[in-house]
Amino acid sequence: MSPEDLNPGDVGPGSEVAVLVRGLTKSYGNVHAVRGIDLTIARGEVFALLGPNGAGKTTTVEILEGYRHRDGGQVEVLGFDPGRQRSRLKQQTGIVLQSTGVDSYLTVSETVAMYAGYYPHPRPVEEVLELVGLTEKRSSRVSRLSGGQQRRLDVAVALAGDPELLFLDEPTTGFDPSARREAWQVVENLAALGKTVLLTTHYMDEAEHLANRVAVIAGGRIVAEGTPATLAGRDTARVVVSYRLPDGVSAPPEFGGPTGPEGRIEFMPDDLTAALHRLTGWALDHGVSLDALRISRPSLEDVYLQLTDSASGAQPAEASSKSKGKRR
């Protein structure tokens, strides 16, 4: 079943819908942080919320988690209203914040076991450590872990109760490239177990790699939603042909002008095949090398920047300034 086929009647324990949001609003004084958001997330989906600083992502997620009260709208998470049934919801959700405070004198497995003890049906500690890639570190003290390993321990703690739904707030911010790849593997492991994951991220490659669907929030509203590959018509957008020419050589006007970065020449043909045929034919006839010839559609980052730039007039006046990661 695709998320488009889901409707409010499908919500409830054991249903196909993990998260259903309709007309969600939230203001802080005169800052309208969330201005009528609709979201449907199916069970087993990895869903990413994208958006600039202050867009309303954290406010939305905190309402879904039950940590913040909404002003208006309908919200159901795993069949519960987080505003009124937070403790029941908590048993089935795991939350990974940007920074968490676990006791640095405990070992890795003691930490996970301690959190597992709070839940009625925890996942075995060894399984959790395996999922997050910390089996080798099970006897290490938390204080001895690297930053990336501590982050994986945060995920392990959130997994201790074997939740159905995981909230991951910017899970790889500050990671080096290999630690990011390892964190992505952890999310993939969760997806393979059929868990639902709602993540916020500022990294487009992360959303592209991990998410089944993404929503872009700007100024408290969802400005686009879809799969990373098709967001805002990415898949059907006109292609850009670009190349470089040797110094002193110029191409006929139909093959573009030097408008791109690094002296790249760009044009957007109506008929790609015919245009390439003519361009390469012209190059061969004139003995010209089309250095670094490239054919591209807009990247996820391109469409994200377009969407958020055009929505920026609607953003709340203040930038996000609160400190994060303090709750558990």
- Contacts with ligand ATP, residue ranges (CB under 6 A): 28, 31, 33, 51, 53-59, 316, 318, 320-322
Nearest approach in angstroms of CB 252 to ligand ATP is 46
By C-beta, is 92 or 201 nearer to ligand ATP? 201
- 168, 176 contact by CB (below 8 A): no
By C-beta, is 122 or 171 nearer to ligand ATP? 171
Nearest approach in angstroms of CB 68 to ligand ATP is 8
Nearest approach in angstroms of CB 307 to ligand ATP is 14
By C-beta, is 127 or 225 nearer to ligand ATP? 225
Please provide residue 79's backbone torsions phi and psi, each rounded to the nearest 5 degrees: 85, 0
Q: Rounded to an integer, what distance in angstroms lies between the CA atom of residue 39 and that of residue 61?
A: 11
By C-beta, is 212 or 320 nearer to ligand ATP? 320
Q: Rounded to an integer, what distance in angstroms lies between the CA atom of residue 288 and that of residue 251?
A: 10
The residues pairing with 37 across neighbouring beta strands, listed in sequence order, are 24
Closest residue to ligand ATP: CB criterion = 58
What is residue 52's DSSP assignment? Answer: -
Nearest approach in angstroms of CB 213 to ligand ATP is 18
Instruction: To the nearest 10°, report the CA torsion of 137, 142, 147, 148.
Output: 30
Nearest approach in angstroms of CB 315 to ligand ATP is 8
By C-beta, is 286 or 322 nearer to ligand ATP? 322
Helical segments of the chain, H only: 57-65, 86-90, 108-116, 125-132, 147-159, 177-192, 204-210, 272-285, 300-311
